[in-house]
Amino acid sequence: MNKPIRVVPAILTDDPEALKSMVRQAETFTDWVQFDIMDGKFVPSHSITGEHIASLKTNLRWEVHLMVQHPEDYLEGFRRAGAHRVIFHYEATASPQEVISQAKSLNMDVGLAVNPDTPIPDISPLIDGLDCVLFMSVHPGFYGSKFVPDVLDKVADFRLAYPDMEIGIDGGVKEGNIARVARSGANSICVGSAIFCQEQPRESYNRLIALANGDSSPL
């Protein structure tokens, strides 16, 4: 029996108080979240920092999605802050293999995020060293960015080529398209605004899980 598809709440904010609020909300319905970190260089927006996350007291396990230039400069700080996995962008560094090796030396799981326009063959030499690949289904940097449907074909092709790899999709996923996204071959789907910008985040999260796993009429 196939494992259920996981919905990962993605927390993106530049406001420490909003960060705290979203973490407290997430604690009521999940045990794993993703924190999105932006530097205003690789993407135009800024976000909270690792220091903000470290200051929180939470039992949540978490990964960090680094939308930053020179991701290698961030690894040690996020390991100290408590990250279990770091995901960095292929496009953000000239030496992705070095970033992977550094993360592994810090006993962190490591994933590679891939922007919509990056071809699969570009990342193929790195696959053996990765714990997951995260396909961006938006051009990254903002909550509520426009979904890029062509990425689903890329995910399906990647699943055929790498049947055992953990694959994530991130960006623009909502109740109206999550079933289609789930059919592409992803193991996990990162969702931000369709959870945290809704009136009832917990109920929205539960509906998304049900829809991703084939229940067309969730409670």
Residues forming the active site: 36, 170
Could you tell me the CA-to-CA distances from 76 to 42, 71, 203, 215 in Å, in that order? 19, 10, 36, 41
With beta carbons less than 8 A apart as the criterion, state whether 71 and 99 touch. yes
Place of tokens 């051009």: 139
- Give the chain's largest Cα–Cα span: 47
In angstroms, the CA 24 to CA 1 distance is 33
Instruction: Considering only CA atoms, give the Rg of the chain.
Output: 16
Q: Which two tokens stand for residue 125?
A: 């030499």
Q: Write the burial class of residue 216 (CB in 10 Å: 0-12 exposed, 13-18 middle, 19+ buried).
A: exposed
Beta strands, E only, the chain: 6-11, 32-38, 61-67, 85-89, 109-114, 132-136, 166-170, 188-191
Phi, psi of 10 (to 5 degrees): -105, 120
- For the chain, what's the residue count? 219
